[in-house]
């Protein structure tokens, strides 16, 4: 079908997954590899649409499976549960990522992962290493991704290197991350026309680790109460998904981007794991996690620790 190398981020793509596939396509082309194409594995969320509208560019094409032996480059993920369904049929040439590594392959590949706030930060470094000039569009895409993943440099995932890259991207784009980035994040919090099922799937990730199958979904909001007044509807959508996918538990986190806290709903047979993971009491399936905003750094690791240390779960 496609003799081009396909570049894509994770399912339920966030801004980093969409923009990093576009930026990686641009970098590969500038390095002389014309035979590449950015694609996506899911709908474009409102935050990312804000970025595409700002730049006046189209979203990458949506795909749902690849042909056997299709050559691919993964950005912003490596875990197969978050990739295209038949990723096992593809030949992964490169991975550019900033998540914990849960990936095995039988043949050598280019694997670049750094513990920084965003895939775009790693990509910016690759432009520098390869002495490729960063154009304004690529710079805007990267600035958007960093603003998204680090919640405008407020998340504890933010490194000094992310901050340094942002300064350089601000120079190239003429944008101020505290204005542009905040407007972009706010655009992403508009869920007024979404069903509860759509809301929980804006940014939901599946994990199959420690002999458990679970999801951690996250939605950004500037108003936790507006979400939790509909708690019963979200619980219904979450329970439906638990049934459908046979999940052991589900954590839905509404992250307050103004105050940098998250309030969670946790459901499923193993839902009590969150009490141990976060040291909180769950009341009516919900708990407040103070100063917790990052799934990657502040939600997933304590949950895995609690699962690994609890023989009763
Ligand atoms: Mg991502
Ligand atoms: Mg990312
Ligand atoms: Mg994220």
Q: Give the CATH number, domain containing residue 261.
A: 3.10.310.20
Residues 160 and 224 in one domain: no
Residue 127 has a pLDDT of 98
- For residue 206, count other CB atoms closer than 10 A to its CB: 18
Residues 173 and 118 in one domain: yes
Which residue is it, tokens 């919900």? 286
Where a domain ends, among 187, 210, 245?
187
Look at residue 67 and give its three-state secondary structure.
coil
Q: What is the CA radius of gyration of the chain?
A: 19
Span 73-129, pLDDT tens digits: 999 999 999 999 999 999 999 999 999 999 988 889 999 999 999 999 999 999 999
> Domain total for the chain?
2
Look at residue 303 and give its three-state secondary structure.
helix
Residue 121 has a pLDDT of 98
The continuous run of DSSP H or E covering 241 comes out as helix 231-245
Residues 180 and 85 in one domain: yes
Q: Tell me which ligand sits closest to the C-alpha of residue 114.
A: 2
In this prediction, residues 277-295 reach a mean pLDDT of 97
Residue 2 has a pLDDT of 61
In this prediction, residues 6-15 reach a mean pLDDT of 98
Residues 31 and 156 in one domain: yes
DSSP structural state of residue 283: B
* pLDDT value at 151 more than 70: yes
Residue 312 has a pLDDT of 57
Cα(72) to ligand 1 centroid in Å equals 17
Residues 160 and 267 in one domain: no
Residues 238 and 154 in one domain: no
Q: Tell me which ligand sits closest to the C-alpha of residue 202.
A: 3
Residue 241 has a pLDDT of 98
Boundaries of domain holding 262: 196-312
In this prediction, residue 313 has a pLDDT band, given cuts at 50, 70 and 90, of low
* pLDDT value at 175 more than 70: yes
Cα(98) to ligand 2 centroid in Å equals 7
Span 204-261, pLDDT tens digits: 999 999 999 999 999 999 999 999 999 999 999 999 999 999 999 999 999 999 999 9
Q: How many angstroms separate the CA atoms of 23 and 267, rounded? A: 37
The residues, ordered by sequence, that sit 6+ positions from 132 with a Cβ below 8 Å of its Cβ are 27, 30, 31
Question: Which residues have CB atoms below 5 A from the ion given as ligand 1?
Answer: 14, 16-17, 76
Residues 238 and 117 in one domain: no
Span 15-69, pLDDT tens digits: 999 999 999 999 999 999 999 999 999 999 999 999 999 999 999 999 999 999 9
Residue 3 has a pLDDT of 87
Residue 130 has a pLDDT of 98
Cα(297) to ligand 1 centroid in Å equals 13
CB 196, CB 236: distance < 8 Å: yes
Residues 147 and 210 in one domain: no
Kindly report the backbone phi and psi dihedral angles of residue 46, in degrees, each rounded to the nearest multiple of 5, phi listed first.
-70, -30
Read off the tokens for 136: 């304004």
């Amino acid at each position: 079908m496609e003799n081009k190398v396909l570049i894509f981020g994770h399912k339920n793509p966030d801004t980093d997954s969409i923009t990093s596939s576009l930026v990686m396509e641009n970098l590969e082309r500038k390095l002389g590899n014309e035979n590449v194409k950015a694609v996506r594995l899911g709908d474009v969320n409102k935050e990312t649409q804000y970025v595409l509208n700002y730049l006046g560019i189209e979203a990458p094409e949506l795909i749902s499976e690849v042909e056997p032996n299709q050559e691919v480059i993964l950005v912003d993920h490596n875990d197969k549960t978050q990739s295209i369904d038949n990723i096992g049929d593809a030949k992964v040439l490169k991975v550019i990522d900033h998540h914990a590594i849960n990936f095995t392959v039988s043949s050598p590949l280019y694997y670049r992962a750094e513990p920084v706030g965003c895939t775009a930060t790693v990509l910016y470094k690759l432009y520098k290493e390869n002495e490729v000039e960063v154009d304004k569009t690529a710079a805007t895409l990267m600035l958007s991704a960093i603003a998204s993943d680090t919640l405008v440099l407020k998340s504890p995932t933010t490194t000094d290197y992310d901050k340094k890259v942002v300064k350089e991207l601000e120079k190239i784009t003429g944008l101020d991350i505290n204005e542009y980035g905040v407007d972009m994040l706010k655009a992403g919090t508009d869920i007024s026309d979404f069903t509860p099922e759509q809301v929980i799937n804006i940014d939901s990730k599946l994990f199959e680790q420690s002999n458990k199958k679970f999801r951690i979904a996250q939605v950004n909001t500037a108003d936790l109460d507006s979400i939790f007044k509909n708690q019963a509807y979200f619980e219904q959508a979450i329970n439906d998904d638990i049934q459908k996918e046979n999940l052991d538990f589900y954590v839905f986190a509404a992250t307050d981007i103004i105050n940098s806290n998250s309030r969670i709903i946790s459901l499923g047979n193993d839902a009590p794991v969150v009490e141990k993971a976060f040291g909180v009491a769950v009341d009516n399936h919900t708990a407040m996690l103070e100063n917790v905003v990052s799934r990657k750094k502040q939600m997933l690791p304590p949950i895995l620790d609690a699962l690994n240390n609890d023989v009763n779960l």
